[in-house]
């Protein structure tokens, strides 16, 4: 499945980089507008949940996010392509991203219609977004592109400095970190320049585009080289 360079993974590395970028956008929105909770960074949520149990803020939102992420990861880990569909990483990724795009779109529609003021709206958006992130990350892990992490920075940052590997692998690690950072930055800028839900809509468009590109690339001649 994977080899010694980008060529063996076809277009998957740039697609996963875009996914990391959208993760930064969505997680930044959740932190700013959904009650200082994350929908992708489960390490942060675990700490927030512990602080909530100790009486520092509410623990419900972080718990909802953790549980929704876990359920999404469980579902994403079991997704199976229909019979007769050629088993290809590009098709698996396309199906996974398309599903994530629909879930994020649902969250964006709710937020656009009802805003972030009501607790029930925030919690329902948290459930949709966290489920989508767990789903997406499980699919990404099944796609198995080495050193490109779309969610976790801590592990990537540690391996970046603690391990001596081929330059292209270090480049992938650095790119994934920068993509998450840039996604959060762009999310904040869009929110300030346009409206709070703008980053979610931008993420939906990027995810939909990635799904189309991944599907088309997997159907092109020569796609067997990176299946």
For residue 192, what is the domain's CATH number? 1.20.1250
Q: What span, in angstroms and rounded, lies between the C-alpha atoms of 113 and 177?
A: 33
209 located within any domain = yes
pLDDT in tens, 48-86: 999 999 988 778 999 999 999 999 999 988 876 655 555
Torsion (CA) 122, 124, 125, 128 in degrees, nearest 10: 160
97 located within any domain = yes
Contacts of 14 by beta carbon, 8 Å cutoff, 6+ apart:
none
30 located within any domain = yes
Domain enclosing residue 213, as ranges: 12-79+87-226
pLDDT of residue 101: 97
Q: What span, in angstroms and rounded, lies between the C-alpha atoms of 184 and 49?
A: 22
Q: What span, in angstroms and rounded, lies between the C-alpha atoms of 124 and 129?
A: 9
Number of domains in the chain: 1
Q: Please say whether the dihedral angle defined by the alpha carbons of residues 64, 70, 73 and 75, taken in this order, is positive or negative.
A: negative
pLDDT of residue 5: 44
138 located within any domain = yes
95 located within any domain = yes
pTM (whole model) above 0.75: yes
Rg (CA), the chain: 17
5 located within any domain = no
Using 70 as the pLDDT threshold, list the residues of the chain that sit under it. 1-7, 80-86, 165
pLDDT of residue 55: 85
Taking the alpha carbons at both ends of the chain, their separation in whole angstroms is 6
pLDDT of residue 81: 62
213 located within any domain = yes
185 located within any domain = yes
């Amino acid at each position: 499945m994977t080899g010694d360079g980008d060529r063996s993974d076809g277009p998957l590395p740039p697609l996963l980089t875009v996914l990391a970028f959208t993760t930064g956008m969505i997680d930044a929105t959740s932190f700013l507008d959904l009650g200082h909770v994350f929908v992708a960074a489960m390490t942060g949520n675990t700490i927030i949940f512990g602080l909530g149990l100790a009486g520092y803020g509410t623990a419900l939102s972080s718990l909802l996010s953790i549980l929704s992420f876990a359920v999404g990861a469980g579902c994403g880990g079991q997704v199976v392509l229909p019979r007769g569909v050629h088993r290809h990483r590009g098709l698996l990724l396309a199906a996974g991203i398309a599903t994530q795009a629909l879930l994020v779109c649902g969250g964006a529609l709710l937020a656009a219609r009802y805003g972030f003021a009501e607790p029930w709206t925030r919690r329902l958006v948290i459930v949709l977004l966290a489920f989508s992130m767990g789903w997406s990350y499980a699919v990404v892990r099944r796609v198995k592109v080495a050193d490109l992490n779309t969610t976790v920075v801590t592990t990537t940052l540690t391996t970046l400095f603690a391990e001596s590997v081929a330059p292209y692998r270090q480049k992938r690690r650095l790119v994934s970190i920068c993509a998450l950072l840039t996604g959060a930055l762009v999310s904040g800028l869009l929110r300030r320049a346009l409206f709070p839900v703008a980053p979610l809509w931008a993420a939906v468009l990027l995810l939909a585009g990635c799904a189309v590109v991944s599907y088309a690339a997997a159907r092109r001649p020569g796609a067997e080289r990176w299946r």
